[in-house]
Structure 1
Amino acid sequence: MKKFTFNHISFFQLLVLFLLFLISELTAQPVLTRPFFNATIADAYSKHISLKSNDDTLPIPFFDDFSKTGVYPDNSLWLDNNVYVNQNFGIHPPSIGVATFDILNMAGQIYSHASSNTFIADYLTSKPINLSYFITYNSFSYPTNILFYYESATGIYRPADSLYYYSGPYLLNCVVQPGTFTPTMHVYYGSVSLIDVSDSLYYYDTLTSQYVHIVRYTTSYYSLTDSIYLSFYFQPQGLGGNAPESNDSLVLEFKTPLSDWKHIWSSPGFSDTIFHKVVIPLDSIYLVKGFQFRFYNYASFGNLNYPSFASNVDYWNLDYVYLNTGQRVNDSIYPDICFKEPIRSLVEPPYTSIPWEHYKILDTLQIDTLRFNYYNLYSSLVNVKRFLTINNITNHQQLRFDSLGNDNIGPFETFQFKQKTQPNYFPDNNLNKCTFEVLLNITAPTLSSQSIFTWNDTLRFFQNFEYYYAIDDGSAEYGVGLSGEGSQNGQFAMLFKTLTPDTLRAVDMFFNRTLNNASQKYFYLTIWTVNKGKPNHIIYKKTGFKPEYAGINEFHRYSLDTTIYVTDSIFIGWTQTSTDLLNLGFDLNYDYSSNVFYNLNGSWTKLPFNGTPMIRPVFSKSQIINVEEEYMPLTFIPYPNPANNKIFLCDEHICSYILYDITGKIILQGFSQSIDTSPLENGIYILQIFHNKQTSSHKIIIQHP
């Protein structure tokens, strides 16, 4: 199947898109439009809203390329959740993932103040950053039972039995449960008031009979000679397809605790599919503790004369936001090996998902070749190691952890990986449905000490085998349908071929929400037989259906009142009852348009737009009972830290994890509630945890007695 990008849209199709808004009331035709509502964000909104972080000022380097899993910005770096973090809307971004500015709020709905006049839509605001000074931790370790706290108010040295420290969630006494005091550890006086006295600790030197202050760190101050720059990449339009107009703009502002927001940079709207780099040097007035920067977009709502067309507009994609010392205006060198495109389905095209019972019968549906690209953004030759992990999420089992070898990649080069797949990635089991987690990792030991870049070296994909066939990837970049005079009885049909005879029980469809739900018009759910590759006789036609927007999986399931036994191929779609656009979701990443037809005047015509309508037939020999899985936010902090023999990853749930050493080498990888760390050497490690389609990263210290 052809991978679709915006560049595949022909001039004729662009002309059609423009003319649609001019003649939609005059003639019937197939229509392509943009989503008004983002159901992915709406589904995540209530789950995310309570997870915001409230840390103090951040140190530099500050870096975010929006490669972490989730639809909201990383709340350890950003204060607000307006932009949409995704891996679908950017065209050839610097690294995997972008932050998309549009006219939808954090709940995935259009802003209430949106209008055809220019208005401010999304904000992306950094947390306060310390550009005044930085600290360097000294190297030491002392047993906690020899510590003293100097209480300046009384002049008394308080002994260790009055001091406490945390090991994971547990508060321990420095004498009763001794540990090791290290530079980044916090020690508290009193078991109730818990006064942090980490900077006022001493040990007693018996040789000199003196108390010696333990200096945890040294402080250095930034100046203009440190060359602190903020750089980022931006792209108007992107795969979303709607370019911001010239009166729209993307804006950058700076702020300090003693000043208001100040305009620093902006770009007027224009049409493009290239990422443009911007580098901003920081003046001395911003070298303070509490510096902040923010992006926001000015937008203007589109044509409001036809509500069923009203949709999301004025896309800007932001990527690779980097604030650090030692940069230059023309710098384009980063110590980073990264992915730029997401991994797609591992089953044979045209499918992205297949009913699990069908897949188990036919063992030839796994792709025969694994392909992906990665990129060297550095100026030197780098050796890169590759790994593939597959976990069965449904029964909590790691199925494989495979090395995919290693190769050198030259400076600023792209490496195109291609290798025959091993058999049986997704082994048979006695379940009715199953979900597999697929992880691809690349590591470069010579670069991986740059831990801020580690997120973009992992691709994560969920291979779902439930009850339906899917040809789309679940992302609606556009909407599609029929509209205009003469379309009242129009028909829209999509071809499906079942791989084994089975009973069709329902149809899943994803409709884009429109302004005031204007597209929520009744239609006939219609199913046809196939003749010479086109719809033929109607075998099912039922009214009483209309676009619905709520649902566990974002798609709405339309159950059939009469089941249909399908032995081969059918067409599924609808018959209109009005001239309004129903606005079905349309995926631009896969092109199935040669199997999609519409009928306005008695003859069937192929859809003129490249992409895939978001329709999924649901098969099962018995009635399907849906049970909603409980959502558990990834708020658990691994403990103990420092650790000796074991680290607990999750409380009551099993998580997949990757543990790296400080050079970026993968040390351990698995699927468990805990990690046995007894074989590991003392030192610092980076732990990535994956659970519920979320990720978190933690610095772990292994410290054996």
Structure 2
Amino acid sequence: MMKNKMRFLSLLALMFYVIFPLQVKGQLREVPLSRNSQLESKNVHQRSNHIGTFTVYLPIGGGTDFCAADFIDLAESDSVFYDVCEKELQGILSINGTCVSYDHLGNRSSELICLSVCDTNNMCDEYEVMLVSGPMLPLPFFDDFSTARPYPDENVWLDRDVFINNTLATGPLSLGVATFDGLDASGTPYEGGFGYSDNLTSAFFDLSGQSDIYFSFFSQPKGEGIKPRTIDSLAVDFRNAQGKWVRMWQMQGLPNDFSISDPAPEFAYTRFIIPDSFLHNQFQFRFRNRSKNEGLQELWHIDYVRLGADEVTQEAFRDLAMQFPPTSILSPYTSMPAGQFDKPEVRQTIASRVNNLDLVNLTMNDPTFTVKLESQILLQRTFIEPVQKWLLSPGVSAFDFDMNDGGSTNYQTLQNNLFDVLTPGEEYEVISELRFTRTDEILGAELNNIVTAVTRFSNYYAYDDGTAESAIIDRGSAGVKPTKLAVEFHNNVDDRLQGVQLHIPHIEGNSSSLFFNLFLWIDSLDDEPEYIQNGLRVYYADTYFDTLSGFTTYDLRDSSGQKISIPVPAGKFYIGWEQIDISGTKIPMGYDLNSPAGVDFLYFNVGQGWLNAGVSGGLRRGSLMVRPVMGNQEVIATTTKEYSLWDDFAVFPNPTSGLIH
């Protein structure tokens, strides 16, 4: 059971190699991931001879009819059998030959019907038909994907295939887009090769008696990922009164001469009127893409999906929207041990970008920055400078909000309050929130006027935000000296190093049989590390326990194999490693592209001395996901973590102020 569970615990997103050459005979390469730690992966219902699953949508309390021939090419001699798969249905099922009628009763549900198709030799293929009931939604409809993450809002969407994120699109209109790729809801590539991939299916609308109803959205191919090819596509289907899906719009991928380095096209606006034949009482729309179904490839992103009258679906509309979360309150770290915090670690300015989606200037009212620890407010400041910039012209405006605007001392207040509340050895989550107000935006748009970020004070240092968009490997080959890599950290007071956490993501190939050496340098990167641990084996964190962060913990051992900790005085220290054998598969290290400051603290040595990756690495700016664990408490290495019954429960998303799963 354990191995079966682990099979579904991780996320696979196969991507091609992206090489960023070094200015020396370099051996660092940035490579894409083949799993996505931002998604959860769960066991799903499987039958031993299960061929496929088909989905039928119906309104809560409504009915539907379907036939086996709607999904499968039947021979005249085939026999068709229906049965309840695992538990009783909420509604009433009526079977008429190869067809079914189902009347839904009760609350919203997803229910399974088993379908067997047998030939004259009694050889049977088994399928599942999932009956998904959904609510009726009012007009106008609007979703800019700024709240739910990483799955679509289940109150308005009936499936979970797409990935809601704020990292993969280029220049999103607001915080959050829906990304279509070649991965299912658990992050596993779809099977079967080229074909349909993700679906994003709306709940129901009663459009009977309506007129002049429009549907609009914005879309972008590629973004920060891999472009869709010309044979790939993004499409929109409408459901007609007979329950059949009809293709209404389709866009092909980018041309072959569109290079990897070319910037993604801007988000494009699409709108069309709903034909009269679709103005019925169970209207739905859906987006779907076609891809190789091999991973996080052939990306499409959509935003601002709207359905309603002419005036609420136009290209320009009244909305001011935050594009990204606020920057961390720390600099340069995103997390650090509470006992190492000192007042200069606080960032004085908070960066933000606000998009005016109208054709006229709009005023951003009362931009306010709040920092709190649980219910305790550590800082709340409504910025008053530069007030002349609060009137925003159409397009994107960038801000660096200064906590000490207007001659205030808010920066010092936050420094002092953090210093007072943080106790060494304890763990804290500090929430920072940036918001502004407007009272005349389009319906639902007020939700993108608020963005939040979490700063964790625990037992480790981190430059990263906990999620990797890419990975770094040693690109050397047999006969070439392995590259040493090292990340610089700084202790404000004497401490003890208990272990190291590494985000070792899945890329092409399996690194779990490979080994590396771990190093600690104190004060400077000289030739002799203060500590070396040879022959550490690669362990994928998700192989041993349910994890959303995906960090593998390595404790420290002496020459006899006894667990130890190492004193590290105040000042600089460096955590480094090298792969022992680079002739074959490479050991990847997670690379967070949304935390650019970390590359300035990354160094590499190909045998010609240490070089700073931010200057000589040829890499995109980002942070290597390496975390030294400090303090007096021993760490538990990943390979010795016990897997208990409680590990079957994964709270997601975490943190959240909404629904948990």
Aligned to 2:232: 248
**Structure 1 residues 553 and 18, CA gap change in structure 2 (3 angstroms):** closer
Pick which of 312-321 and 269-278 moved more: 269-278
Structure 2 CA distance, aligned partners of 1:476 and 1:691?
Answer: 17
Structure 2 CA distance, aligned partners of 1:534 and 1:16?
Answer: 32
Please identify runs of 4+ aligned residues in structure 1 that moved more than 6 A.
Answer: 43-46, 50-53, 625-634
**Equivalent runs, 1:412-561 vs 2, <5 Å:** 412-417=394-399, 418-421=401-404, 422=410, 423-424=413-414, 426=418, 427-430=420-423, 432-447=426-441, 450-486=442-478, 489-514=482-507, 518-529=510-521, 536-537=528-529, 539-550=531-542, 551=547, 553-561=549-557
Per-residue CA shift, 1:588-633, capped at 9, x if unaligned?
Answer: 1233334333444565454321222111111113335899999897
Pick from 368, 380, 389: which aligns with 2:370? 389
Aligned to 1:366: 346
Structure 1 CA distance, aligned partners of 2:19 and 2:495?
Answer: 43
**Structure 1 residues 276 and 552, CA gap change in structure 2 (3 angstroms):** closer
Aligned to 1:41: 39
Aligned to 1:593: 599
| Secondary structure class of the residue paired with 2:29 | strand
**Structure 1 residues 590 and 557, CA gap change in structure 2 (3 angstroms):** same
The structure whose Rg is larger is 1
Aligned to 1:564: 566
Residue 569 of structure 1 aligns with an amino acid whose one-letter code is: K
Structure 2 CA distance, aligned partners of 1:531 and 1:437?
Answer: 33
Count of residues in Structure 1 that have an aligned counterpart in Structure 2: 507
Aligned to 1:105: 184
Following superposition, the deviation at residue 544 of structure 1 comes to 3.4
Pick from 328, 331, 344: which aligns with 1:348? 331
Residue 371 of structure 2 aligns with an amino acid whose one-letter code is: I
Following superposition, the deviation at residue 437 of structure 1 comes to 1.6
Per-residue CA shift, 1:571-596, capped at 9, x if unaligned?
Answer: 32322133312222111123333433
Structure 2 CA distance, aligned partners of 1:30 and 1:691?
Answer: 33
| Secondary structure class of the residue paired with 2:339 | helix
**Structure 1 residues 558 and 119, CA gap change in structure 2 (3 angstroms):** farther
Residue 17 of structure 1 aligns with an amino acid whose one-letter code is: V
Residue 588 of structure 1 aligns with an amino acid whose one-letter code is: L
2:626 is the alignment partner of 1:618: no
Following superposition, the deviation at residue 548 of structure 1 comes to 1.1
| Secondary structure class of the residue paired with 1:345 | coil
Structure 2 CA distance, aligned partners of 1:301 and 1:33?
Answer: 19
2:299 is the alignment partner of 1:296: no
Aligned to 1:89: 168
With the length of structure 2 as denominator, give the TM-score of the two structures.
0.69
Structure 1 CA distance, aligned partners of 2:184 and 2:376?
Answer: 38
Aligned to 1:261: 245
Pick from 316, 329, 343: which aligns with 2:300? 316
> Do 2:19 and 2:29's aligned partners in 1 also have CA atoms closer than 8 Å?
no
Aligned to 2:154: 75
**Equivalent runs, 1:175-186 vs 2, <5 Å:** none
Following superposition, the deviation at residue 340 of structure 1 comes to 0.8
The root-mean-square deviation of aligned C-alpha atoms, in Å, is 3.4
Structure 2 CA distance, aligned partners of 1:404 and 1:436?
Answer: 20
2:198 is the alignment partner of 1:122: yes
Following superposition, the deviation at residue 545 of structure 1 comes to 2.3
Residue 463 of structure 2 aligns with an amino acid whose one-letter code is: I
| Secondary structure class of the residue paired with 2:236 | strand
Per-residue CA shift, 1:76-101, capped at 9, x if unaligned?
Answer: 11111111111111221111111111
Aligned to 2:619: 609
> Do 1:83 and 1:122's aligned partners in 2 also have CA atoms closer than 8 Å?
yes
| Secondary structure class of the residue paired with 1:232 | strand
Q: Which blocks of at least 5 consecutive residues in structure 2 are unaligned?
A: 1-15, 45-107, 111-131, 405-409, 558-563
Aligned to 2:222: 237
| Secondary structure class of the residue paired with 2:456 | strand
**Equivalent runs, 1:693-704 vs 2, <5 Å:** 693-695=656-658
> Do 2:525 and 2:574's aligned partners in 1 also have CA atoms closer than 8 Å?
no
Aligned to 2:52: none
Pick from 27, 30, 34: which aligns with 2:28? 30
Structure 2 CA distance, aligned partners of 1:525 and 1:277?
Answer: 52
Aligned to 1:222: 210
Structure 1 CA distance, aligned partners of 2:29 and 2:607?
Answer: 16
**Structure 1 residues 537 and 602, CA gap change in structure 2 (3 angstroms):** farther
**Structure 1 residues 552 and 452, CA gap change in structure 2 (3 angstroms):** closer
> Do 2:146 and 2:177's aligned partners in 1 also have CA atoms closer than 8 Å?
yes
Pick which of 481-490 and 28-37 moved more: 481-490
Following superposition, the deviation at residue 112 of structure 1 comes to 3.6
> Do 1:488 and 1:576's aligned partners in 2 also have CA atoms closer than 8 Å?
no
Residue 198 of structure 2 aligns with an amino acid whose one-letter code is: D
Per-residue CA shift, 1:406-433, capped at 9, x if unaligned?
Answer: 7742452545442225222534244611
> Do 1:88 and 1:475's aligned partners in 2 also have CA atoms closer than 8 Å?
no
> Do 1:44 and 1:71's aligned partners in 2 also have CA atoms closer than 8 Å?
no
> Do 2:180 and 2:198's aligned partners in 1 also have CA atoms closer than 8 Å?
yes
Following superposition, the deviation at residue 69 of structure 1 comes to 4.1
**Structure 1 residues 535 and 30, CA gap change in structure 2 (3 angstroms):** farther
Aligned to 1:17: 18
> Do 1:126 and 1:293's aligned partners in 2 also have CA atoms closer than 8 Å?
yes
**Structure 1 residues 573 and 373, CA gap change in structure 2 (3 angstroms):** same
Following superposition, the deviation at residue 60 of structure 1 comes to 1.6
Structure 2 CA distance, aligned partners of 1:470 and 1:595?
Answer: 11
| Secondary structure class of the residue paired with 1:60 | coil
**Structure 1 residues 61 and 529, CA gap change in structure 2 (3 angstroms):** same
Following superposition, the deviation at residue 32 of structure 1 comes to 1.7
Pick from 324, 332, 335: which aligns with 2:315? 332
> Do 1:520 and 1:547's aligned partners in 2 also have CA atoms closer than 8 Å?
yes
Structure 2 CA distance, aligned partners of 1:111 and 1:391?
Answer: 42
Residue 347 of structure 2 aligns with an amino acid whose one-letter code is: I
> Do 1:547 and 1:582's aligned partners in 2 also have CA atoms closer than 8 Å?
no
| Secondary structure class of the residue paired with 1:456 | helix
Following superposition, the deviation at residue 368 of structure 1 comes to 1.4
| Secondary structure class of the residue paired with 1:455 | helix
> Do 1:409 and 1:415's aligned partners in 2 also have CA atoms closer than 8 Å?
no
Following superposition, the deviation at residue 373 of structure 1 comes to 2.8
> Do 1:41 and 1:71's aligned partners in 2 also have CA atoms closer than 8 Å?
yes
2:357 is the alignment partner of 1:377: yes
> Do 1:69 and 1:693's aligned partners in 2 also have CA atoms closer than 8 Å?
no
Structure 1 CA distance, aligned partners of 2:397 and 2:27?
Answer: 43
| Secondary structure class of the residue paired with 1:312 | coil
**Structure 1 residues 386 and 604, CA gap change in structure 2 (3 angstroms):** closer
With the length of structure 1 as denominator, give the TM-score of the two structures.
0.65
Following superposition, the deviation at residue 512 of structure 1 comes to 1.8
Following superposition, the deviation at residue 552 of structure 1 comes to 5.7
Structure 1 CA distance, aligned partners of 2:467 and 2:376?
Answer: 28
Structure 1 CA distance, aligned partners of 2:317 and 2:505?
Answer: 39
| Secondary structure class of the residue paired with 1:42 | coil
Pick which of 87-96 and 581-590 moved more: 581-590
| Secondary structure class of the residue paired with 1:571 | strand
Structure 2 CA distance, aligned partners of 1:231 and 1:312?
Answer: 26
Structure 1 CA distance, aligned partners of 2:189 and 2:247?
Answer: 26
> Do 1:489 and 1:575's aligned partners in 2 also have CA atoms closer than 8 Å?
yes
